Amino acid sequence: MGSSCGRVCWKWGSRLRRLTGFSRLLSTAALTPQICVVGSGPAGFYTAQHLLKHHRLAQVDIYEKLPVPFGLVRFGVAPDHPEVKSYGAEDNRILGIPGENLSGVYSARAFVGWYNGLPENRDLKPDLSSETAVVMGQGNVALDVARVLLSPLDILKKTDITEGSLAAIACSKVKRVWLVGRRGPLQVAFTIKELREMINLPGTRPLLNPADFTGLGDVIKDVPRPRKRLTELMVKSALEKPGEKDASRWASATKEWGLKFRCSPLEVLPTADGKQARGIRMAVTRLEGSGESARAVPTGEVEELECGLILSSIGYRSLPLDSSIPFDPKLGIIPNSLGRVQGAPGLYCSGWVKRGPTGVIITTMNDSFDTAQSMLEDLQSGVLKLSNSKEGFKSVRSILHSRGVHPVTFSDWEKIDAAEVARGKLAGKPREKLVDPQEMLQLISH
């Protein structure tokens, strides 16, 4: 690690577990706070940025379990949305229904990881042989997954989607995607930008049931503007006659997508041999209450959808890092006060493990700045005792070497980056990601 003040140092160890935005303060001198950030996603980077900007002596090391940095910025939602990525937790919530483990059923997180080159998902091999796919969930991730499944190949070829995923999608039989939600149109979690892009997706047409939107115009008069505009776009698409251009495009479309409301999953239906998903049985629900607090209550009716591909997109959750660090398994967060880990002086958290799996990049940025500010205030007030000298990365490096772990440096990452960009250029793409960590390590060892 460099000794110059204010320098950010990058280290990655294959045996280090990652928890986005988890930080511990280490001190090497009375006036030199040395800070360890575990996780090289946006939460970690923004925390480091704020600390370095506002403390001229701070030294920061960022640790990552993979050989490559940037977390969800690299492995996030959609390759055709390089400016917006939306997940950063380590695990996904499960549906908790019979048949969830059948072939053809996947978490949206694993599917997203597959087409974005996340090493742990590179061997997913999703079955795309069914004409109909169902995505359980109505958030931005659900829309992203549907868009990738239905996008023309000419669009996907210009992104950094992995070569293997592109080849699989080229052979996909999926022509129809249903996005299913437990509640109604006023409770969807996606944003207007993603919805508009889906409505305008070349070669596809939307399937919106007019009955779901009738009368909503009066209901939304007093709702917040973002929700009002979003609902108005759905109402317009469902109830108004499309313009000549849209009508022509939708008439010639070979693929389609739709929103199905007030349905809660009950069971994944198996094929005759009991191995593959052939459909999903859902409880028809009604809403009690209104707005964001509305609850979905089963009516006793059921509905079945035939489909061979089912993707669960009902949210993500963080995992505990270590038994010595407090963790609330119900909320999936580290108990904290403005980023200060409860009962553990010197420990801080940021990102989704701090507040739960909500928000996008700008939310994470502001949240990370708040955590960094808490750290700076504790340094200023003397709550953090910098006189308790610790060796910082020198000590960590010794431990890693004793375990046979050779950290990947930022310079090493630059070699991987250059190789990916060069491979992408040959294919007419921004980059062609390496998906095998061993291949990455071999590349930097030469």
Q: What is the pLDDT of residues 131-180, one digit of tens each?
A: 999 999 999 889 999 999 999 999 999 999 999 999 999 999 999 999 99
Per-residue pLDDT, 28: 43
CA distance 309 to 147: 15
Whether the predicted pLDDT of 439 surpasses 50? yes
- How many other CB atoms sit within 10 Å of the CB of residue 79? 25
Strand, helix or coil for residue 334? coil
Cα–Cα separations (whole angstroms), residue 343 to 70, 323, 398: 29, 13, 28
Chain-wide mean pLDDT for the chain? 86
Model pLDDT for residues 136-147, shown as the tens digit of each residue: 999 988 999 999
Give pTM, 2 decimals.
0.79
The model's confidence at residue 50, banded by pLDDT at 50, 70 and 90, is: very high
Say if residue 14's pLDDT is above 80: no
In terms of Cβ atoms closer than 10 Å to its own Cβ (0-12, 13-18, 19+), residue 265 is buried
- Complete domains list, the chain, with CATH: 8-71+318-406 (3.40.50.720), 94-314 (3.50.50.60)
Which pLDDT value is given to residue 11?
55
Q: Does the pLDDT at position 388 exceed 90? A: no
d(CA 173, CA 169): 8
More confident residue, 14 or 413: 413
Token pair of 114 as six digits: 């597959």
Three-class SS state of 57: coil
Q: Quickly state the pLDDT bin for 12 (edges 50, 70, 90).
A: very low
Residue 80 confidence (pLDDT)? 58
CB 371 within 8 A of CB 23: yes
